[in-house]
Amino acid sequence: MELGKEKSIRFFSSLLAFFMVFTLLTPGFASAKTETTLKKSSVPNESIMQMKQAIFEQDQLLQQKPTLHRDLEKEKGQHDVEVIIQLSEESVALSEGKKKVKDLPFTASERAKAQQKVNAQQKQVKQEMKLKKLLVKEGYTFETVLNGFSATVKADDLKKLLDIKGVKLVEPVVEVHAFEDTSVNENGQVSPAMDTSQSFLGIEKIWNKGFKGQGIKVGVLDTGIDYHHPEFDGIYKGGWNFIPHDTGYAKPRADDDPYETTPSERPNDRPEFNANGSSFYTSHGTHVAGTIAALGNNEYGISGLAPAVELYAYRVLGAYGSGSNAGVIAGINKAVEDGMDVINLSLGGGNNSSTTADTIAINNAMLAGTVAVSATGNSGPNRGTIGTPAAAALGIAVGNTTNPEAMYDANVSVAAGDYSNTSNISLMGTTYGVELEKQLAGEYEVVAVPGVGQPSDFEGLDVDGKVALISRGEIPFVDKIAAAKDAGAVATFIHNFGGGTGAPGPSNVFLGDDFEFIPSFDMSQTEGDALRAALASNKGTVTFSDFNVAYTTGDEVNNSSSRGPTTPHFDIKPDVSAPGTNIMSTIPMYGKENPEADYAKAFTRKTGTSMATPHVAGVAALIMNANPDWNAFDVKVALSNTAKVLDTDKYDVFAQGPGRVQPFEAVFPNALAYALDTVVSDGEEVDNTKGTVTFGHLPQVANGDVSVTKQIHVKNLSANASDYDVSVEVTKAFGDAKVTVDQSTFTLNGEQLLNVTLEAPKSDAPAGSELLGYIHITDGETNLSLPFAADFSPVAEAKSGIENFELSGYDVSFHADSKGDPVRLSFDLHNNVLFNYIELWDFFDPFGGYYGDGYIGYLHAGDFLAAGSYYLDIDGQYAPWGGTGLETIPDGAYTVDFTGLNIDEHGDDIIFDWDGPLFVKSTQSKIESAEAHVAEESTYAFTGTVIDNYINYSRDGFGYDVNTKLTTTFEAKDTEGKVISSGPVNLSQDGSFAFDVTGLVDGENIVTIFVNDAAGNSAEASFVVAYEEEVIVDPEPEDVEYVVSPDEIAEQIGNKSKQIIIEVPAYDDGLNIEIDEAIVDTIVKSKADLVIESSDGFSFDLARNVIEKLSKGTDGTLTIALTKEDATEERAISDVYAFNFIAGEGSVINIGKENIEVTIPVDVSNVGKTNKLTVLDLANNRTYKLKYKDGVATFKADGPGVFVAVD
């Protein structure tokens, strides 16, 4: 089945490839120690050595035969393909670099001559393409950092380009993106604070010395800048736009206007938000620029690190924060031509080649004297995830770390009806610049918001000035906060839900502070459910107290930060790390279109290596400001040498590189240390220098001892000599391998050469055998660090096939009200494949589908997919085989299968893998029971059935316990809405259930059954259970069966007994005890208790205050009525005993609630444990605990009643 181009584009815009990168640096390699004696009369200039490596690599590229990039080799047909065409003449920057290597000036005439050669060759190539009708459309032209241009050609003409004289490499134009990590804004944990970066990094100390970046030109290659923002007033100097405003935009844009993409530029046929959640209008570049250069013209102290630079903008990313590598190269080219001292590239994309056009452009920018700072990407924490252009050997690649973070909590006291609770709750979000104690002073009403807190859930709900109780689920936390704020709420409680991370506790989410936030508390599921239940029938209030703030230390590497090493040489990246997590900086208000725009709070927080990179760019500007004679490579080494090494138990050299930037030390170092390396060029050994020690791959350790020596050149930058100590820190060991330095101490007075030797005896080295660590050089004040790395793993065969083909979950619902987590498919593809599909195979119909093979349709189909790492969010839509459009995936159980046709020489012809079962269940449960429920007792056996596809799936082949997929509970309320019983419900495997409802009261009781399934669906159903309480008629005195005589108590009264005991004979049905009024008075005056004892063991004790109440309650004879009958209760271990008090005129005496100790004979012959016995008061619907001993059990009743003991 042929897939149209539109379908291919749709897939590749939704799949994000995490590309491996190749370094341009060749590792040193030797079988014996090199000589340690320096044979040169002087050490070459360090930065010149580093340039040689990049020049050599480019010369090799220019000398190779014309090449078509592998991703283009299988392209065929008459469809358009955008490409970058590199030509054989040296670029202007490369020519300049070659002069610098020889320590010769690059004169104006030489520059003009180089430019003329480039222009002439490009003109000749373009003319020939036109004559041969190969050029469909001309794109960008590159002259300075790259000799080439972008163009659109037909797929069938790609190979014809290689026949044109001067063409050396044809590679695809690929999409690049801003490296902002938006996932943490939804569910991740982040930390506050650009406003703490300055103090944390010690920027003020540099400012106090008079250096704020004056005279340094900084170019931001990004989405543009809102240059109307007051924070850029006076420092913004201009820029260029490299985004064509074609049919994808509503209006044209001038070439010299690098403003952010605005809302008014969106045409009607483009969505406000794309499939990745990115908005058409942009803000990324303004945020990046603010971190570098914001002036601080605000009441909050938010400013950039170098607020006195000259700021330029190069708009290379357009709508949705996307652009092409061709546009990026054009931006680099123009920035170098404009004389930028520093350029910031918080973006990336591209493929796996180490000689891609954008990495070459970065290298040549550095050769031309422009410091190029790039973001590594947000594809961590796995290794080898750094993208281009950060893979460029000479550029500065930046990783993302954290600042110290402020974490707030408070005591929260809520009340609603009979419910009240006080607990300490953490805040997930706070309002920037506002004191919580003042913001939340006083008492507030709490309002339960239905649903999940979407804007529609607030319709018709009054939360103005109140606290909104919102459930977690379905939409990001920040969207819930925004909806509550828009509705007028002063704060939110966002409580967890069943199945949420951390449940039944809080979600453990921290969003930091922002101008757009209102205080938002991270409430547990337990507290949230209880408060929501109380608010269902009562008004609720809350007060806040005891606000507390705690600070973490920062300096953690963000989990999303991309890691090294670069391949194939096991080289160390990033070159330095910097704070990039939840950074506060400037955002656009689009004042260009709206002169009334308010910029007072035009700041927000963003996270990613995009935010870390401008910190380093700002520091680079300060370095150049303070050290005007330094070149780009001196800046790079200073940043690397002086970085703070972070926790090496957590972060190896590929996670943090040399460590977190230390600006003051980088701006004012007393010494720098350069690692020297070599590469063979034209038969000669060429020196190369860099900021790390790379021993590379050493698989030969399996065959014999290995020894490799590298050299470090230490250069004194101060006026005074100093004594230095050298030490080696190993953070990951391998057997007996070791790294040593020939001098553990030395006096630095000018320059010093150190020999660093790695020695490893012959040994087996399984995959992953590495030696990692740091070489530290210090005089107590100056601390220099150089990370090192060696890999002893055996040479691995080329991987083939597909790995890590996994679904993030196996239950999913596409119902609009589902609270379940979305499912993502991810995999690593090791081969390039032609026709490829990701299909759904139906477990229950293996011979169904359009082709009779069980496949109902596909989530993706394409005609080519390059090797790489991918993910695909399963959003509920699929294309049925044989259909004409997208449909919703029906309920069922599926495997998700990948099939691809391998075009590489290695690996199987067909690449195949699958994962599953994926249970799709978008329908809610049905709960069925009898229409009428009538209870004859206060305990009722409720029965019913849950009808659900999960029950069908289990029955039809999967055989799991349905209770693992369906969580069922019940709640019973009386006629006043009070909960009388609740609990879990265990389902039988056919969905039927039975449970006891206890505590029923007279009238219509409501029993509600709740079912929450594994896919996030929920259902409930309510039923009426009618109960008519049995009226227990108090026994009326009939014939007097036992009369208490004065003589019976006289002796006890005379002895002043504390208890007057009246012993009565055993009785079968009933016995009325008559006590004359005078005898009652006598007992009252004795101040003794009255004990009624039956010969069968039943007795009860009436305290003197009870006797007084009985005396006052009768004008004549007091009758104590006793009854006994056989028990009908199944669990009974006694007969049913009752007693009551009757006045002389025959009425019942009400003594109120009074403790009466009752003893009842029991039979425990069939009872296992006697410590959990209870007694039921059938007259008053009460239950009491029993104390058992020697055949009788004692309990304290609240008054007379009808009692039976049960186990």
Domains of the chain: which residue ranges?
77-173, 175-184+192-402+563-593+601-669, 406-551, 674-795, 802-920, 926-1027, 1042-1206
End-to-end alpha-carbon separation of the chain, Å?
A: 71
Q: Could you give the CA distance from residue 1173 to residue 298 in angstroms, rounded to a whole number?
A: 72
Max intra-chain CA distance, the chain: 140
Identical topology for domains 77-173 and 802-920: no
DSSP 280: S
Rounded to 5°, angle at Cα 1136 from 1131 and 1137: 145
Mean pLDDT of 1170-1182: 85
Report CA-CA distances (Å) from 810 to 231, 806, 891.
49, 10, 13
pLDDT level of residue 274 (50, 70, 90 thresholds): confident
pLDDT tens-digit series, residues 351-388: 534 567 888 899 889 989 999 999 998 888 888 888 88
Mean pLDDT of 1187-1202: 89
Catalytic residues: 222, 284, 610
DSSP 132: T
Q: Could you give the CA distance from residue 21 to residue 458 in angstroms, rounded to a whole number?
A: 49
pLDDT of residue 780: 92
**DSSP class per residue in 1058-1075:** SEEEEEE---SSEEEEEE
Place of tokens 């740091």: 774
Highest mean pLDDT among 514-523, 676-685, 828-837: 514-523
SS3 129: helix
Q: What percent of the chain has pLDDT over 70?
A: 90
pLDDT of residue 64: 59
pLDDT of residue 863: 67
Q: Could you give the CA distance from residue 225 to residue 586 in angstroms, rounded to a whole number?
A: 10
pLDDT of residue 37: 27
pLDDT of residue 565: 86
Q: Of the CATH numbers 3.40.50.720, 3.50.30.30, 2.40.280.10, 3.40.190.10, which one belongs to the domain with range 406-551?
A: 3.50.30.30
Mean pLDDT of 560-577: 84
Q: Could you give the CA distance from residue 1058 to residue 1052 in angstroms, rounded to a whole number?
A: 9
SS (H, E, C) 170-210: EEECCEEEECCCCHHHCCCCCCCCHHHHHHHHCHHHHHHCC
pLDDT of residue 39: 27
Task: Report which of 309, 413, 279, 441 is spatially closest to residue 371, judged by C-alpha positions.
Answer: 309
Q: Could you give the CA distance from residue 880 to residue 875 in angstroms, rounded to a whole number?
A: 15
SS3 410: strand
Question: Residue 789 — φ and ψ, nearest 5°?
Answer: -155, 140
Which of these ranges, 189-203, 305-319, 1064-1078, 1168-1182, has the smallest mean pLDDT? 189-203
Question: Residue 416 — φ and ψ, nearest 5°?
Answer: -155, 110
Q: Could you give the CA distance from residue 877 to residue 862 in angstroms, rounded to a whole number?
A: 16
Instruction: Give the up-direction half-sphere exposure of residue 1205: CA atoms within 13 A in the CB hemisphere.
Output: 26
pLDDT of residue 1181: 84
Which residues lie below 8 Å from residue 970, measured CB to CB, with a gap of 6+?
942, 982, 983, 985, 995, 997, 1007, 1008, 1009, 1010
Contact assessment for residue 352 and residue 20, using Cβ atoms and an 8 Å cutoff: yes
Q: In this model, does residue 13 exceed pLDDT 80?
A: no
Burial of 268 (0-12, 13-18, 19+ CB in 10 A): exposed
pLDDT level of residue 180 (50, 70, 90 thresholds): low
Rounded to 5°, angle at Cα 225 from 224 and 230: 175
Does domain 674-795 match CATH 2.60.40.2310?
yes
Task: Report which of 1074, 1093, 1054, 966 is spatially closest to residue 1017, judged by C-alpha positions.
Answer: 966
Highest mean pLDDT among 44-58, 785-799, 813-827: 813-827
Q: In this model, does residue 410 exceed pLDDT 80?
A: yes
pLDDT of residue 464: 96
Q: In this model, does residue 167 exceed pLDDT 70?
A: yes
pLDDT tens-digit series, residues 759-768: 999 999 998 8
pLDDT tens-digit series, residues 696-735: 889 999 999 999 999 999 999 998 999 999 999 999 999 9
**DSSP class per residue in 286-320:** HHHHHHHH----STT----S-TTSEEEEEE---GG
Burial of 505 (0-12, 13-18, 19+ CB in 10 A): middle
Which of these ranges, 453-467, 481-495, 529-543, 1161-1175, has the smallest mean pLDDT? 1161-1175
Task: Report which of 894, 874, 889, 921 is spatially closest to residue 1018, judged by C-alpha positions.
Answer: 921
pLDDT tens-digit series, residues 581-607: 889 999 999 999 999 999 999 999 888
Residues comprising the chain, all counted: 1207
Of residues 1188 and 181, more confidence is placed in: 1188
State in words which class domain 1042-1206 has.
mainly beta
Mean pLDDT of the chain: 86
Task: Report which of 179, 343, 259, 900 is spatially closest to residue 597, judged by C-alpha positions.
Answer: 259
pLDDT tens-digit series, residues 1002-1032: 999 999 999 999 999 999 999 999 998 765 5
SS3 617: helix
Which of these ranges, 265-279, 802-816, 889-903, has the smallest mean pLDDT? 265-279
Q: In this model, does residue 4 exceed pLDDT 70?
A: no
Mean pLDDT of 1091-1096: 90
Q: Could you give the CA distance from residue 968 to residue 1199 in angstroms, rounded to a whole number?
A: 39
Peptide bond into 476 cis (omega under 30): no
Mean pLDDT of 238-244: 95
Q: In this model, does residue 476 exceed pLDDT 90?
A: no
Q: In this model, does residue 909 exceed pLDDT 90?
A: no
pLDDT level of residue 868 (50, 70, 90 thresholds): confident
Contact assessment for residue 904 and residue 839, using Cβ atoms and an 8 Å cutoff: no
What pTM value is reported for the model? Answer: 0.59
Place of tokens 């720098």: 672
Architecture of domain 926-1027: Sandwich (2.60)
Task: Report which of 85, 77, 144 is spatially closest to residue 114, judged by C-alpha positions.
Answer: 144
Q: In this model, does residue 1064 exceed pLDDT 50?
A: yes
Place of tokens 């935009």: 249
Phi/psi region, residue 868 (left: phi>0; alpha: psi -120 to 50; beta: rest), is left
Q: In this model, does residue 392 exceed pLDDT 90?
A: no
Burial of 629 (0-12, 13-18, 19+ CB in 10 A): exposed
Q: Could you give the CA distance from residue 1102 to residue 1121 in angstroms, rounded to a whole number?
A: 14
SS3 431: strand
Q: Could you give the CA distance from residue 770 to residue 957 in angstroms, rounded to a whole number?
A: 47
Architecture of domain 77-173: 2-Layer Sandwich (3.30)
pLDDT tens-digit series, residues 689-707: 677 898 988 999 999 999 9
Q: Could you give the CA distance from residue 578 to residue 492 in angstroms, rounded to a whole number?
A: 33
Q: In this model, does residue 98 exceed pLDDT 80?
A: no
Q: In 603-659, at which residue ranges do the beta strands (DSSP E only) sit? A: 603-606
pLDDT level of residue 469 (50, 70, 90 thresholds): very high
Q: What percent of the chain has pLDDT over 90?
A: 57
CA Rg, the chain, in Å? Answer: 40
Residue 696 is encoded by which pair of tokens? 């590379």
Task: Report which of 949, 981, 864 is spatially closest to residue 911, judged by C-alpha positions.
Answer: 864
Q: Could you give the CA distance from residue 470 to residue 448 in angstroms, rounded to a whole number?
A: 7
Which residues lie below 8 Å from residue 825, measured CB to CB, with a gap of 6+?
805, 806, 807, 808, 838, 859, 871, 872, 873, 874, 896, 915
Which of these ranges, 37-46, 107-116, 214-223, 276-285, has the smallest mean pLDDT? 37-46
Name residue 987's beta-bridge partners: none
For β-strands 540-551 and 467-471, DSSP reports them as unpaired
Place of tokens 């700021």: 311
Of residues 646 and 176, more confidence is placed in: 646
Residue 1086, amino acid: S
Mean pLDDT of 165-191: 66
Burial of 74 (0-12, 13-18, 19+ CB in 10 A): middle
| CATH number, span 802-920 | 2.60.40
Architecture of domain 175-184+192-402+563-593+601-669: 3-Layer(aba) Sandwich (3.40)
Question: Residue 1171 — φ and ψ, nearest 5°?
Answer: -90, 5
Contact assessment for residue 651 and residue 557, using Cβ atoms and an 8 Å cutoff: yes
pLDDT tens-digit series, residues 630-665: 999 899 999 999 999 999 999 999 999 999 999 999
Name residue 1164's beta-bridge partners: none
For β-strands 823-829 and 310-315, DSSP reports them as unpaired
pLDDT of residue 564: 87
Sign of CA dihedral 54, 60, 63, 66: negative
Mean pLDDT of 876-901: 90
Q: Could you give the CA distance from residue 1110 to residue 1103 in angstroms, rounded to a whole number?
A: 11
Q: In this model, does residue 183 exceed pLDDT 60?
A: no
Mean pLDDT of 122-146: 90
